[in-house]
Structures are given as structure tokens and as C-alpha cells.
Amino acid sequence: MAINTYPLKKYNYRVQIDNIDVAGFSEVSGFDASVDVIEYREGTEAINSPRKMPGLTKYGNVTLRWGMTESVSFYEWVAGISNGERAAASERVQDIVIYLQDDRHDDTANWTLVNAWPCKYTAPDFNSSSSEVAFESVELAFEEMRRTQ
């Protein structure tokens, strides 16, 4: 199979939460991972600079943004965590997969957010003289990110 040498475009994607396709997100942003650097040096070492070793891996939060509809599922997920209805880890966390697609809408790459849960919900801004779409967003914290394909 020939490998496509053209860069992939970022406007075709789909989001799957708990093995269910969720449509309608206009933006998915915030993917990042960083590894802390641990510096260590013993006083008897011949060189005057420390060794550098990898430390903890940390992930930034991912934000999902969408045009507001009558659905309140994300708000209820956040509210259930904050009011204690979803206190157990098994009730509050989900694996979320974001698939990047090619122009034929075939999946070409994916990122899995392991044990994700909403840590912030943002309601739309309101303006009586605007004719823009009302957007909601949810920020997701997660414990691990896996990239496949």
C-alpha cells in the first residue's frame, strides 16, 4: 500500500465517546504532552553539568467546542461530577477517541484520551445585536494519550 506523502487536513474528524460516535463538534483543541526534566549531579562527577533524565509525563486538557443545541448531555456529565452523582471513577471517566480523516472520510490517525472527564464547561456568550452561532464548550482532563495509525 502506498503511503500518502501529502499532509493531512485538519477539518475532517470525528469524535467517539465510550464507543459511540458523537457528531457536531466545530473544534477540538489542546492536544499536548510534556515530560518533566529531572536534573541530577553528584559532587564527584568530572563534568560541571547535571545529567538530564525523564520525569513525569503531563498532558494538557483537550477542549471540545460545538454549536449549541437542545442536548444537555455534556452539561449533565459535568453537573453529575460536581454534585457527587458520578462520584465513582467508573461513572465519571470515559475513553474518548478523536479520529482524523482524509478527504474520503476514511480514518487516517487517532488519539485516545484515556480516563477522560470534564473539568470545565463553558456556556455561550449572549449578544442581542449579533447573528452568530451560540457555542458551548467542555474541557476534558485525562490521564494518558495514545496515538495510533
- Quote the pLDDT of residue 90: 66
Record the pTM: 0.81
Of 41-45, 88-92, 109-113, 115-119, the range with the lowest mean pLDDT is 88-92
- With 90 as the cut, is the pLDDT of residue 60 above it? yes
- Quote the pLDDT of residue 89: 64
**Of 145, 149, 72, 84, residue with least CA distance to 110:** 149
pLDDT band of residue 36 (cuts 50, 70, 90) is: very high
32-64 in b/e burial notation, b at 16+ Cβ within 10 A? eeeeeeeeeeeeeeeeeeeeeeeeeeebebbbb
pLDDT of 12-33, one tens digit each?
Answer: 999 988 766 666 689 999 989 9
